[in-house]
A and B are shown apart, each in its own frame.
Chain A
Amino acid sequence: MSDLKYNLTASNLSEITRLNIGDKIYEKMQASTVAVAGLGGLGSVVATSLLRAGLGNLIVVDFDKVELSNLNRQQYFTNQIGMYKTDAMLENLKRINPYAQIIAHTIKLDARSVEELFSDVDIVAECFDAAKEKQMIVETVLSRMPNVGIVSASGVAGFGRSNMIETKKISPKFVLVGDSESGIGEGVGLYAARVGIGANHQANAIIEMLIEKKN
């Protein structure tokens, strides 16, 4: 990358992450794969937090392009308007770690493609906007993919009420984040602050699940 201020090598980056989190956790994070489904207000934050935590293999999926109306809560920039979110996200993630293993799929996910693309991942992060899409992916992972965990978010709209956003362990493979009731609607918008709290609840739950996973 031409705008790199320092001539960082892959081992510069891996060694500092190893120092930050310790050998044992570093090895676990490096061996793990997480799929982030949807790169909006939730997914753009979840992907970033997981990469910074040393995740070895990241899959990001979205079909949409960056729009001006996304910038209130999604981690993109004005010069990225019109780009596919997958391309813009890759660009941003590579600025954090140019050597990261990231696979991007620019498609609209349905039950079949979820099964096809995510069958070998450790955890799926459900980061969709629409309630019925959330339903689709959670149902698919829970009913058809016994070895894959899912961390979903529901109820992150509006502002304030930070402490109502919870991480609920529904089952060993299913975690639900949010207050479960604050949806988007008339007069209720989305803010980077509250969506971001939810997103980092998701990322934090995923990191915990990966570290505590039995090999």
Chain B
Amino acid sequence: MSKLKINGKEKDFSGKIPSYLSDLLEMLEVDSATVVAEVDGKIIERSNFKTAKIQEGQSIELIRFVGGG
């Protein structure tokens, strides 16, 4: 079992979940400069994406921003 809940949907990483939040974002092809990330209800600041360890079963919310305004 190697599942994470991402934006409310369960995602199976078939054996190996990414080690750090930055790895997850890279895998999902999300530009880290334009995303606000919340892991189990806690905001992880962008400067900590590379050191934020991801664990099995965590619930991750990724809010992506697009330009214009």
A72 to chain B, nearest CB (A): 12
How many pairs of A and B residues are in contact by the CB < 8 Å rule?
A: 74
Tell me whether A154 and B65 are in contact in the complex, defined as CB-CB below 8 angstroms, given that A132-B33, A134-B34, A142-B36 are known contacts.
yes
Q: Are B67 and A130 neighbours in the complex by a CB distance under 8 Å?
A: yes
Contact of A135 among B35, B38, B61, B69 (CB under 8 A): B35
Contact of B34 among A38, A131, A182, A195 (CB under 8 A): A131
Q: Are B69 and A195 neighbours in the complex by a CB distance under 8 Å?
A: yes
Q: CB within 8 Å of A: which residues of B?
A: 33-36, 38, 43, 45-46, 61, 63-69
B67 proximity list for chain A (CB < 8 A): 129-131, 134, 157, 183-184
In the A-B complex, the 5 residue pairs with the closest CB atoms: A183-B66, A157-B68, A143-B43, A131-B34, A134-B65
| B34 and chain A: residue at smallest CB distance | A131
Q: Are B66 and A139 neighbours in the complex by a CB distance under 8 Å?
A: no
Alpha-carbon distance between A77 and B68 when the two chains are bound, in angstroms:
20
Alpha-carbon distance between A101 and B46 when the two chains are bound, in angstroms:
35
Tell me whether A138 and B65 are in contact in the complex, defined as CB-CB below 8 angstroms, given that A131-B33, A132-B33, A132-B34 are known contacts.
yes
Tell me whether A131 and B36 are in contact in the complex, defined as CB-CB below 8 angstroms, given that A139-B43, A139-B45, A142-B43 are known contacts.
no
Tell me whether A135 and B46 are in contact in the complex, defined as CB-CB below 8 angstroms, given that A142-B36, A170-B63 are known contacts.
yes
Tell me if B's interface is mostly helix, strand, loop or mixed.
mixed
Alpha-carbon distance between A184 and B59 when the two chains are bound, in angstroms:
30
Alpha-carbon distance between A201 and B60 when the two chains are bound, in angstroms:
27
Q: Are A155 and B66 neighbours in the complex by a CB distance under 8 Å?
A: yes
Alpha-carbon distance between A128 and B38 when the two chains are bound, in angstroms:
21
Q: CB within 8 Å of B: which residues of A?
A: 38, 40-43, 127-132, 134-135, 138-139, 142-143, 152-157, 170, 176, 178, 180-184, 190, 195, 198
B43 proximity list for chain A (CB < 8 A): 139, 142-143
B3 to chain A, nearest CB (A): 23
A126 to chain B, nearest CB (A): 9
Alpha-carbon distance between A66 and B48 when the two chains are bound, in angstroms:
36
Q: Are B68 and A182 neighbours in the complex by a CB distance under 8 Å?
A: yes
Alpha-carbon distance between A34 and B43 when the two chains are bound, in angstroms:
23
B69 proximity list for chain A (CB < 8 A): 38, 40-43, 127-129, 134, 153, 156, 190, 195, 198
Alpha-carbon distance between A170 and B34 when the two chains are bound, in angstroms:
17
Q: Jot down 18 A-B pairs with beta carbons below 8 A, ordered by A.
A: A38-B69, A129-B69, A131-B65, A131-B66, A132-B34, A134-B69, A138-B65, A143-B43, A154-B64, A154-B65, A155-B66, A155-B68, A157-B66, A157-B67, A157-B68, A180-B66, A195-B68, A198-B69
